[in-house]
Chains A and B, each alone.
Chain A
Amino acid sequence: MIDGFIALYIFMLAAFTGYEVIARVPVILHTPLMSGSNFVHGIVLVGAMVAMGRAHGTLEVTIAFIGVVLAAGNAVGGYAVTERMLEMFKSSKTAPKAKH
């Protein structure tokens, strides 16, 4: 198990990491980045799976089932929309010349 101070250190370092990673992001990427970070907390899926694996009795299993459905929605949906948005970002050097 991750004990007290180790957990605190992880928490602190991760918090600074998140801040630094975002600190210099241009405004044009705010929406995709928010969507991307929304995808990243989809990791809650593994937690929901573990909680479901440990759940006993109808009540716990039902709640855990809902949790896994929601978590999978977060992860998969977050990926789908983020990837769609970022796919469209092209520079004028790489963009194919005007179709239309």
Chain B
Amino acid sequence: MVLGAATIVQASYFVAAALFIFGLKRMSSPVTARGGIVWAGVGMVVATLITFLTPGMENYGLMTVAIAIGGIIAWVTGRRVAMTDMPQMIALYNGMGGGAAGAIAAVELFSGEAHGAQLALGVLGGVIGAVSFSGSLIAFGKLQGLIKRSIRFPGQNYVNLVILAATLVAGAILVVHGSGGLPGHVTLLFVLALLLGLTMTLPIGGADMPVVISLYNALTGLAVAFEGFVLDNAAMIIAGTVVGSAGTLLTQLMAKAMNRSLANVLFSGFGESAAAAASGGPAGTMKSIDTADVAVMLGFSEKVIVVPGYGMAVAQAQHKVWELCQALIARGVAVKFAIHPVAGRMPGHMNVLLAEAGVPYDLIYDEGEINAEFETADVALVIGANDVVNPAARTDKSSPIYGMPILNADKAKNVIVIKRGQGTGFSGVENALFYLDNARMLYGDGQAKAAELVQAVKAL
């Protein structure tokens, strides 16, 4: 058998697909995760380079220019983005992948070469890719603060339904008649699909965006797999499908961690402003405390559990907080970090932010692992977290966060809350924790207060 160019290309795709799966597997454990992305990266480079050998291709010059443009812009932005902004960058890159899948579909549809099942999958992949593209851009805009409001109006779900139906009809016409002679229809199909992504995503609030990004990630995977069928490209089929199913599972895990069903996220329009029409607020008063007292309390504890939230990251306090913890560890205090799945902007985001500050991952525990330990802790130090430690989630049925699994910070002997002011959390709900007898409020900027605590603890 002669080793033709086509065979080499296929072999490289086989290698790439294997490396992607191997890489993803390694990425699912913190010990091997770093190597995982490198292996997957090797697969990507091999597949991309060998693709240039594909027989019968043209436009090599423009192709190289396009890769350089996209690659350089993405590399520079990806290297520079702050860790706190990671979720929206993922949304952006994901949207680009969806757009690419849509572009492949558009080229194939305009050329009119695909027929039958391949045409149907091409149309479907194109629609999904386009929805993921425009939807992800909206998600990026919202998290980046470019889009401030969630646009909602009565009957919105019906409008979306109509657009979806129109998109499907336009797609079906193309599949039945073949796309070759109908460029107007092809254009209409993509306009409708892009519009659908916009109208689906605009009403969803910022708090729910991570789930949406994860969903679009899975959808892009699916779109890539479908376009892989159109192009007879096994690497795209396998990688796209693996991401499609893994992403779907990840989306469910995230939705579950937030105590929301996916349908609820997509169609209810909560997640930003549902400012609890409920309850007249918890009884009691918030009791403040000063830095020196907190330092004494922490310094003479046996066990401290730190509960960080997104507020800590916004205040860029994670480095000072870790310094504080190191000072405590040096005094023989046992320190652990308790992370709620939705601390930060998406599940696992807080772990990334703590890792950035140098906190070893084996000091970090998730809600299931550590909740029983709060009862034995002398101090629960809550920094920038709010809804995830609100005991109302356990008891108050009228609360919008009722039923959400929370960290049992209120069970600790003492609770110290570092907080900028007296406002409510992301969900707009009053926090009953702050009014408890064992809770004390340390008001101020997270980073400044943590720095003062470091000095005070060291001076003990």
Contact = CB atoms under 8 A, between A and B. Distances in A.
Nearest to A79: B41
Chain B binding site: helix, strand, loop or mixed by DSSP? helix
Interface in B359-410: 360-364, 366
Chain A binding site: helix, strand, loop or mixed by DSSP? helix
B241 A83 contact: no
A80 B28 contact: no
Interface of A: 1-2, 4, 7, 10-11, 14-19, 21-56, 59-61, 63-93, 95, 98-100
16 contacts: A14-B241, A15-B241, A28-B364, A34-B217, A37-B243, A37-B247, A47-B228, A53-B54, A69-B67, A69-B69, A72-B66, A72-B74, A77-B77, A77-B78, A83-B37, A87-B34
Contact of B96 (A30, A40, A71, A99): A71
A69 B366 CA distance: 39
Nearest to B239: A43
Contact of B51 (A17, A31, A49): A49
Contacts of A65: 62, 66
Given A43-B224, A77-B77, A33 B34 contact: no
Nearest to B110: A60
B117 interface: yes
Contacts of B428: none
B266 to A, nearest CB: 18
A90 B355 CA distance: 7
B53 to A, nearest CB: 11
B16 interface: yes
B348 A32 contact: yes
Given A34-B214, A50-B54, A91-B30, A63 B254 contact: no
B242 A77 contact: no
Given A19-B249, A71-B96, A85 B86 contact: yes
B346 A31 contact: yes
Contacts of A36: 23-24, 27, 36-37, 40
A85 to B, nearest CB: 5
B203 to A, nearest CB: 23
A15 B40 CA distance: 18
